[in-house]
Amino acid sequence: MLNNKIIFEPKNDKNVLEYEEHQSSSFDTPMRADAFELDDETKIELIAKHFAGIMQILGLDLDDDSLQDTPKRVAKMYVKEIFSGLNPANKPEPTLFKNAYHYNQMLVERNIAVFSNCEHHFVPIVGKAHVAYISNGQVIGLSKLNRIVQYCSQRPQVQERLTIQIANLMKEALGTEDVAVVIDAYHHCVSSRGVKDSGSTTLTAEYCGQFLNVETRNEFLKYIG
């Protein structure tokens, strides 16, 4: 399963890569204090102007029918879609239910789509997230797990931070430390530029609470294949 993958594991393990070399100094996405002083429409207008400038520098003809609306399309996509996770107003509200049936085993949600963008080159990170938790008395609506992954993904990212952010948001939403997150993703900054290796993927993991126990972790890994 792990052939041809770059593996970063939690720093709790002694037999893994030096995790400190890969994680940022903060688990939060680097943001300025005035990041939300502008409304979305103003941001779209300003980004469109700047992107038009980039296109002009590249020598593209903005009077062409196919290109004339591209700056605004890109700006709207940035603000409303692929970077919408930067705005905490878009943070998903968890839908929690009492665990009336006393299910006390792990719940695993596999193959959640990850669509993010590398913060170093602003090109896509595409892959799958596998998440799990053990209830402490509450269960979450399944679609909310997908939305948590989506929210954390929709911002410029590094995969290590993304993995930790998903785990932290799950812990916050569920009120439990017993969560696990594994992400397996292709980085287009590797496949489409530089070394141009289209076959490798990057695997990151964050284990918390009971998932730090080897048996519990191995059970989770068995479930996700």
Based on the residue annotation, tell me whether 208 is a catalytic residue of this protein: no
Q: Write down the catalytic residue from 23, 118, 188, 219.
A: 118
Which candidate in 150, 154, 159, 165 is catalytic?
159
Strand blocks (E) in 28-178? 96-98, 106-118, 124-134, 138-140, 156-157
187 and 125 in contact (C-beta within 8 Å)? yes
Identify whether 154 is a catalytic site residue: no
Q: Which of 152, 160, 165, 187 is catalytic?
A: 187
Q: How far apart are CA 55 and CA 52, in angstroms?
A: 5
120 is catalytic: yes
Q: Which of 9, 45, 119, 177 is catalytic?
A: 119
Closest to 149 in 3D by CA, of 185, 186, 177, 114: 114
What is the distance between the alpha carbons of residues 137 and 11, in angstroms, rounded to a whole number?
29
Instruction: In whole angstroms, give the CA distance from residue 134 to residue 125.
Output: 28
Bridge partners (DSSP) listed for residue 117: 124, 156
Is 187 catalytic? The answer is: yes
**Whether residue 189 lies in the annotated active site:** yes
Write down the catalytic residue from 121, 138, 177, 219.
121
Q: Smallest Cα–Cα separation from 176: which of 65, 96, 111? A: 96
Catalytic pick from 41, 56, 68, 120? Answer: 120
Catalytic positions, written as ranges:
118-121, 159, 187, 189
